[in-house]
Amino acid sequence: MLYTYRQLRGERYSRRTIDTLVAAGTLRRAGRFFASRSEDDVVVEALRRGLRPTCLTAAEHHGLWIPPGSGTHVHGRRRVDVPDSYVGHGWHRVWPEDLPVASPALLIEHAARCLDPLDVGILADSALRQGRLHESQLDVIRGAVPRPVRRVLTRASASAESGTESKVRLYFQLRNIPVRAQVEIPGVGRVDLLVGRRWIVELDSRAHHTGESGYEYDRERDGCALQLGYFTTRLTHTMVFGQWGQTQTRLAQITASRQHLLPPERWIRSRRA
């Protein structure tokens, strides 16, 4: 947590009490602000340098889903040096917000000129899902960002359950390929994405589906889906982020076949014929 001096005094902390908490390490000075012991050292160090965390650094601070990235992303004042290891996002005369770390709305606006548009969409989906961003704020952001990012943000949704799901869903939507998220299919259960009429796309995170029981369960579901006329593609975190070029090619090949547009029952009849 981060606090201003005014906030601490508003909580009836005296100046002496604040100094005592700092001396004990319960609070840490972070430039003109105070940080709790649990606050990320990256954020504290940036504030000590007179910089304002934004983009991916601010997103992690707020607990949003974040695509892979490196460096500490900051906004600064013109006379404040930005280390080479940091990612600078420009300069400001007066920071536009009360708290020193960019809000979800502001960090998304900054990310629009730093990240791939699909990665900006991941941040927007996460902020909407967590209730940290409202549709009215998103409307304002759409009017201030480059067109490729605006196309993504127009399709932002609070329904996504992971960053991998957001990225793949947006990939299909930007190509006008029919896709629905979190669809309940009788006899199969809820699936991450249903593309067209019969193509199930499941997004396996690094934390799930890795054990033997999970592997067996997933394959059993895939078999049930196939019997009902669906086919399944499973994408891992690495395939969506580390091997995205190869994954796009694979997805494009499947959509080019148009097999996803065939109704499941029609596919079953064709197999019986």
Residue ranges covered by each domain of the chain: 40-158, 161-273
Local confidence band at 11 (pLDDT 50, 70, 90 cut-offs): confident
Alpha-carbon distance 4 to 95, whole Å? 14
Local confidence band at 209 (pLDDT 50, 70, 90 cut-offs): very low
Which CB contacts under 8 angstroms, 24+ apart, belong to 29-34?
30/2, 30/100, 31/100, 32/4, 32/5, 32/100, 33/2, 33/3, 33/4, 33/5, 33/100, 34/2, 34/3, 34/4, 34/5, 34/8
Helix (H, G, I), strand (E, B) or coil at 57: helix
**DSSP designation for 52:** E
Alpha-carbon distance 258 to 105, whole Å? 38
If one compares 139 and 220, the residue with the highest pLDDT of the two is 139
Helix (H, G, I), strand (E, B) or coil at 213: helix
pLDDT tens-place string over residues 48-91: 999 999 999 999 999 999 999 989 999 998 888 899 999 999 99
Neighbours of 11 (CB within 10 A): 9
Considering the domain 161-273 in this protein, what is its CATH number?
3.40.960.10
Helix (H, G, I), strand (E, B) or coil at 76: strand
Q: Give the pLDDT score at 177.
A: 97
- Do 48 and 66 form a contact (C-beta atoms < 8 A)? no
Q: What is the mean pLDDT of residues 159-181?
A: 96
pLDDT tens-place string over residues 92-125: 888 999 889 999 999 999 999 999 999 999 999 9
Q: What is the mean pLDDT of residues 158-182?
A: 96
Alpha-carbon distance 142 to 155, whole Å? 11
Q: Give the pLDDT score at 270.
A: 85
**Full DSSP string of 222-262:** HHHHHHTT-EEEEEEHIIIIITHHHHHHHHHHHHHHTGGGS
If one compares 17 and 80, the residue with the highest pLDDT of the two is 17
Q: Give the pLDDT score at 214.
A: 64
pTM above 0.75, yes or no: yes
Q: Give the pLDDT score at 75.
A: 95
Neighbours of 157 (CB within 10 A): 16
Q: Tokens 């601070």 appear where? A: 61
Q: Give the pLDDT score at 210.
A: 52
